[in-house]
Structure 1
């Protein structure tokens, strides 16, 4: 008996293709930290696309697109396993469904032996189709824009320049276009000309942006210190011990003339209005080092119900009144979606026992003292959202500060992945970004996304000062936003309209059916109705 290769039977080919789709989809994760094989991103999609384009039916392509998406989500977020446990698998299966439209598009445009015109269209439409799942999962309820393909290029200067023009979305489009061109080069001889043209076009675009996009113009310097307490053993007094350790490390900054000292997320465990003793200790520190402190309070507020995570600025006289409440919360980590239905997740993982409350608006703070610089705080997860840092830059922030705590995922890929996002946000906005954590990885990036010093390792208990260049003006991305997304969606819409018109014209009008013959009074046949 022969092997079943088509149809619905559970033949060997069906199962090996399904089994291969999961690791094929997971391959792009190697381009992100910690492996950080950024160059691999430009070919990482090829095995997955090869599998999908060879699917014998649209149903198989959809299945392989779903399984590949599942593999990608699991690979990028495997470090969530200690927190979500078994719940991570159905979550990845749900998110994997987002890649089905992209897989169907790959099969449609790249399947068989595409003509040069169809191959050229694929170089535009396949990258545009890739943005659909990236956009959908960027909603915070689905986990947010963590692991966007373009973010794998956080340490590549030309890619960062592209981000200043079109955001991380433009970088994702270029990476997928290169993958598509490589696939055509190795599989379709007749399509080598458009494939080479596509690669040339990507190189020309990158070169034109590199030469033509304005570089940040320095307008001053700011010395920003980050205080990283390092790992603190869990216990009833762990919050107080971390606070005391932060105090000791901050005192070491005296004489180093920082303009701002930043503590990590959840570095203060009580509302300062309800604990004037803590507020006094922080004010004394600010006076001792000669700089305001930006701390992060994770506590129940005394002036309103609920627990908030808040960035609070403290000067030598005490809290200045500047406060930012975190707006976008981590699903399951800081709140449980549909808690009445999914509340059981708290019993099998480290899901939030009580939902945090959301803030209402972004805040730009003015530093007291000589610098007078304006800073825009973000809390942890929020640094993954390009629109939030863009909004702060539009509102006048000269420095973006990210306060984070990755203690739960200390020995995983998560800290390095999180810190790398700051480079993208710096390049997109033309503003320096400081990423301060409790346990690492803390880092600082200049206004072009360049790293200004080696990041602090996660196990380090230390304070470090970053001297950051401030920049005047705004980037093209800050001024014009997600135009690359709009262009991609417009291309897909135009393709859909053209396909609809083409199918309608090929089908033509329905042929007219002849009326049945009837016999007349003289016996001669005639057509009814004539």
Structure 2
């Protein structure tokens, strides 16, 4: 290990960087080793701080970042095939500034001041890479490090204050403190202070941030039809399974029935027979149905994915068209250049058409629901917007059947806990083939999740809550704080470089130390 760190074996260092970058994936579902997230970055940080040059640190940051993307998204291989590798290589570039920051602040024998700055700036640098790749065109905010803590109540309380961003900052800060403890004896005091600060912050938030107060309940039924054979009749078989399972809910006094993404394969306006069957089901169970239509619209061009509310009288007019589409899965970016991806993997043969605005739907009894479709549940700003618009219940309709036996279903279902904790509103995550799950307004699990391959309809007593979380009120303030800290650091570093006198023409350059 010492030989690798001192730079004598650059090939081994490159391999170690890739392996170290992939390690944090174990903190996410399906392994879900949430505790590992607090030390998962330590090997990578140790490698970067010992890089013999800035160029080497940049290379190892890039390799580690690319490996992290592949590890967290490896289940995309059936869809993207080899295209996942150049995509990961592109996104891996985002970790180069972070790697240089790690070497600068943690390298050598940092002073107490530099170590203290590292506890703030290294997490901020990591957040910057997450922020850039969270753009929908680059794949969206899937695999944010803070999302690995979805089942930890204190972390969920932090999310109610600053979203998954704040949780991620704390996780990286703890990793940074561990590095100072094990590798820099002279910096143990700031390291201990950093860990204590994270603990104090978490404790203060736990005591100060108001826990959601339950103000009522809705009985929500999740219909999960389970796998159906591929082929031209798949949509009809899926509809029939959902119809049968929904019929079994008659007499169970439900307030809402939720079907998964793409549960209806034809436009209801063009198929009034399907609309009548859904209306009959609504009358039979005594509750509206929220279905998801994945079809070419009869009233406008293109294929849309739409959450549609259907009552006893048919579609109510409440309709939400999915706004943020999955790159390659639902559209191909720059199709004229990258359209070949559709012939290599399972990329979309035709681009879906995005919707224009979020929609909040009214339910009988006065409750309002905010629909999300598929990976829109990964975007904190979308659920926050729906709650600010009045949603008391968030419903995410999803389908991960393409990735049935991978980590994808568990990763996707875990996001519901974060969105619930951030907004103080319950989230129903309904899928075609699992994992379907329900989380209460504090992010807590409600009832049992429906595993993959289960074919069933389950009724959940979903607690409703009022009030407004700090995250809903103030938004992504941790992002602004992190960017401000990085800007201040860059300004100070730039000012110092301008004040430093240039070496004379006949004198050797001054030796500098990072202290």
What is the TM-score of this pair, normalised by structure 2? 0.96
Structure-1 separation of matches of 2:5 and 2:295: 59
The 1:4–1:154 alpha-carbon spacing in structure 2 relative to 1, beyond 3 Å, is closer
Shift of 1:12: 5.8
Whether 2:461 is the aligned partner of 1:476: answer no
Tell me the secondary structure at the aligned position of residue 219 of structure 2. strand
Structure-1 separation of matches of 2:480 and 2:68: 25
| Corresponding residue number in structure 1 for 2:417 | 423
Whether 2:128 is the aligned partner of 1:132: answer yes
| Corresponding residue number in structure 2 for 1:412 | 406
| Corresponding residue number in structure 2 for 1:100 | 96
| Corresponding residue number in structure 1 for 2:184 | 188
Whether 2:296 is the aligned partner of 1:311: answer no
| Corresponding residue number in structure 2 for 1:528 | none
Whether 2:262 is the aligned partner of 1:266: answer yes
| Corresponding residue number in structure 2 for 1:523 | none
CA deviations over 1:34-60 (Å, ceiling 9, x no partner): 000000000000000111110000000
Whether 2:70 is the aligned partner of 1:74: answer yes
| Corresponding residue number in structure 2 for 1:223 | 219
Whether 2:490 is the aligned partner of 1:496: answer yes
CA deviations over 1:183-237 (Å, ceiling 9, x no partner): 0000011000000000000000000000110111111111111000001010111
Structure-1 separation of matches of 2:4 and 2:245: 67
The 1:187–1:5 alpha-carbon spacing in structure 2 relative to 1, beyond 3 Å, is closer
| Corresponding residue number in structure 1 for 2:501 | 507
| Corresponding residue number in structure 1 for 2:46 | 50
Whether 2:367 is the aligned partner of 1:376: answer no
Whether 2:203 is the aligned partner of 1:198: answer no
For the 8 Å contact 1:5–1:14, the answer to whether it is kept is: no
Tell me the secondary structure at the aligned position of residue 436 of structure 1. strand
Tell me the secondary structure at the aligned position of residue 496 of structure 2. helix
Structure-2 separation of matches of 1:21 and 1:253: 53
Higher Rg: 1
Q: Which of these residues, 72, 79, 84, is aligned with residue 83 of structure 1?
A: 79
CA deviations over 1:123-163 (Å, ceiling 9, x no partner): 00000000111001100111000000000000000000000
Instruction: State how 1:34-49 maps to structure 2 within 5 Å.
Output: 34-49=30-45
Tell me the secondary structure at the aligned position of residue 500 of structure 2. helix
Runs of 4+ in 1 over 4 A off after TM superposition: 3-6, 510-513
Instruction: State how 1:394-405 maps to structure 2 within 5 Å.
Output: 394-405=388-399
CA deviations over 1:321-352 (Å, ceiling 9, x no partner): 00000000000000000000000001110000
CA RMSD, 1 decimal: 1.5
Structure-2 separation of matches of 1:24 and 1:231: 36
Q: Which of these residues, 436, 447, 455, is aligned with residue 441 of structure 2?
A: 447
Q: 5+ residue gaps in structure 2?
A: 507-515
| Corresponding residue number in structure 1 for 2:17 | 21
Q: Which of these residues, 339, 344, 348, is aligned with residue 340 of structure 2?
A: 344
Shift of 1:512: 12
For the 8 Å contact 1:301–1:308, the answer to whether it is kept is: yes
Shift of 1:502: 1.5
Aligned residues: 504
Structure-2 separation of matches of 1:356 and 1:221: 36
The 1:317–1:5 alpha-carbon spacing in structure 2 relative to 1, beyond 3 Å, is closer
For the 8 Å contact 1:313–1:323, the answer to whether it is kept is: yes
For the 8 Å contact 2:377–2:383, the answer to whether it is kept is: yes
For the 8 Å contact 2:4–2:12, the answer to whether it is kept is: no
For the 8 Å contact 1:404–1:437, the answer to whether it is kept is: yes
Structure-2 separation of matches of 1:485 and 1:395: 23
CA deviations over 1:361-381 (Å, ceiling 9, x no partner): 0000001x3x22100000001
| Corresponding residue number in structure 1 for 2:296 | 300
Structure-1 separation of matches of 2:208 and 2:248: 44
For the 8 Å contact 2:5–2:13, the answer to whether it is kept is: no
Shift of 1:5: 9.7
For the 8 Å contact 2:441–2:463, the answer to whether it is kept is: yes
Q: Which of these residues, 475, 480, 485, is aligned with residue 486 of structure 1?
A: 480
Whether 2:359 is the aligned partner of 1:363: answer yes
For the 8 Å contact 2:4–2:13, the answer to whether it is kept is: no
| Corresponding residue number in structure 2 for 1:236 | 232
Tell me the secondary structure at the aligned position of residue 305 of structure 2. strand
CA deviations over 1:246-293 (Å, ceiling 9, x no partner): 000001111111100000000001110111000000000000000000
Instruction: State how 1:139-178 maps to structure 2 within 5 Å.
Output: 139-178=135-174
Q: Which of these residues, 277, 281, 285, is aligned with residue 281 of structure 2?
A: 285
Structure-1 separation of matches of 2:467 and 2:130: 29
| Corresponding residue number in structure 2 for 1:433 | 427
Tell me the secondary structure at the aligned position of residue 322 of structure 1. strand
Structure-2 separation of matches of 1:270 and 1:12: 62
Shift of 1:453: 1.4
